[in-house]
Amino acid sequence: MEKDEREVAGVRCVEQTRIRRLNERVGEEVEIRGWLYNKRSSGKIHFLILRDGSGLAQAVVARGRVDEETFDLCGRLSQESSVIVRGVVREEPRAPGGHELELKDLRVVQMAEDYPIKLKEHGVDFLMDNRHLWIRAPRQGAILRIRAEIIRAIREYLDAGDFVHVDTPLLTPAACEGTTTLFETNYFEDKAYLAQSGQLYNEATIAALGRVYCFGPAFRAEKSKTRRHLIEFWMVEPEAAFCDFEENMAIQEGLITHVVRSVLGNRKADLDLIERDTGPLEKVEPPFPRITYDEALDRLRNSGRDIRWGDDLGAPDETEISGQFDRPVFVTHFPAVMKAFYMKPDPGRPEVVLGADLLAPEGYGEIIGGGERIDDLATIERRMKEHGLPEETYRWYTDLRRYGSAPHSGFGLGIERTVAWVCGLEHVRESIAFPRMLYRVYP
């Protein structure tokens, strides 16, 4: 097979030619391995639209320019057949990707059976049943590449900020985010739960490493069927020792700004492909506005919503508030009664906590939850009692307040909600290759 020699991360290596790099090969004969996405034909000429995962390219073949057998084969090629195509690269501004191949040779690796997803509109249930095929659509590919860029940028930012990546367990003996959404599983003679968050373990590793983050799947048996909820989602959770509530928000501002700039800078073609209006993303610059929970209630009441102090902000409330700002907005100082047991009460007003949610603009709502943690033993023990959490299971966690406790803060950023916002998606289901949703675990 034909190879393309280039440098990857400073090392010379041999690679296959990819469509995304055709601009470097104008005038040369190359070999592209991929799938037939679409085809336009007249009696005299075929246009084959190929995809290889990096982009789309058009291969053109006119009758008489190749042998008759190859020309006929091009005409018979079915949607999603896997092929190896040789051709000469030339610039063609009207073609997808800006280049086209003058086809010299075609090898069919497998002639696809009648492909269920036609190039027309389909219903969401049908597409979800065929998610294993739907991900091949150019739009879905672009979203998955943007997701990968978001994750790359997150890690780049945290690594540069001296946060050490630590993996936290997925099988856990106890709850982090409330006992009502736990997935239970057998652990030999015992019970264990799928992790809802790595935070409690991060609170231990900061005493070893200072600043850490975990990045993994989180599981919540939430009976929520909304456009923002998944049963299994991915979360990055930074945690830092000697870090207060304000500093924690500054880290979030920096992280989100870097993520958005990275996608704008490195994934412009994909944003164009999915027709994302980048205007709102270009406005994402620190500082982000901060409003308290009390101010949020005033704003909601002013826009006609009936909400009482102590009520959680629902998705429509968050949509209303985030729609009032042109950049992400922090909502701070929530009532302690509605938040997790570990959140630190505000010393000046103990009925509220030093916790903040970051709401994404354009009505997207919460993408981050975080805040300062209780660092004193008596308070954490009291809060755990109030939440009915068994002392024995959390003994290791309270130890952290016995041996060198320090003020500390952290947060959790949901990847799928961030992807949904950055890509302007209607629903989180498209933000991950295989979403796990209420009543859907296939494919």
Q: Any contact of residue 222 with ligand 4AD (CB under 6 A)?
A: yes
Stretch that binds Mg ion, among 24-32, 267-275, 326-334, 367-375 (CB under 5 A): 367-375
**What does 410 interact with, of Mg ion, ligand 4AD, none (CB < 5 to 8 A by kind)?**
ligand 4AD
Stretch that binds Mg ion, among 136-144, 346-354, 363-371, 393-401 (CB under 5 A): 363-371
Q: Any contact of residue 383 with ligand 4AD (CB under 6 A)?
A: no
Identify which of 74, 72, 78 has the alpha carbon closest to the alpha carbon of residue 59. 74
**What does 276 interact with, of ligand 4AD, Mg ion, none (CB < 5 to 8 A by kind)?**
none
Collapsed DSSP state (helix, strand, coil) of residue 210:
coil
Q: Minimum Å distance from CB 123 to Mg ion?
A: 32
Do residues 238 and 213 lie in contact, with contact meaning Cβ atoms separated by under 8 Å?
yes
Q: Minimum Å distance from CB 359 to Mg ion?
A: 11
Q: Minimum Å distance from CB 395 to ligand 4AD?
A: 20
Q: Any contact of residue 197 with ligand 4AD (CB under 6 A)?
A: yes
Q: Any contact of residue 367 with ligand 4AD (CB under 6 A)?
A: yes
Q: Any contact of residue 199 with ligand 4AD (CB under 6 A)?
A: yes
Gap between the Cα atoms of 219 and 177, Å rounded: 10
**What does 333 interact with, of Mg ion, ligand 4AD, none (CB < 5 to 8 A by kind)?**
none
Q: Minimum Å distance from CB 255 to Mg ion?
A: 17
What are the residue ranges of helices labelled H in 210-344? 245-266, 268-273, 279-282, 293-302, 315-322
- Indicate which single residue of 55, 97, 407, 414 sits in contact with ligand 4AD (rule: CB under 6 A): 414
Q: Minimum Å distance from CB 222 to ligand 4AD?
A: 5
What are the residue ranges of helices labelled H in 31-103? 68-76
Collapsed DSSP state (helix, strand, coil) of residue 141:
helix
Do residues 34 and 50 lie in contact, with contact meaning Cβ atoms separated by under 8 Å?
yes
Task: State how beta strands 355-360 and 329-332 pair.
Answer: antiparallel
Gap between the Cα atoms of 321 and 63, Å rounded: 61
Q: Minimum Å distance from CB 408 to Mg ion?
A: 18
Do residues 63 and 48 lie in contact, with contact meaning Cβ atoms separated by under 8 Å?
no
Longest dimension (CA), the chain: 86
Contacts of 129 (CB under 8 A, 6+ apart): 442, 443
Gap between the Cα atoms of 1 and 22, Å rounded: 17
Residues that bind Mg ion (CB under 5 A): 369
Residues that bind ligand 4AD (CB under 6 A): 176-177, 197, 199, 220, 222, 229-230, 233, 235, 237, 366-370, 410-412, 414, 416-417
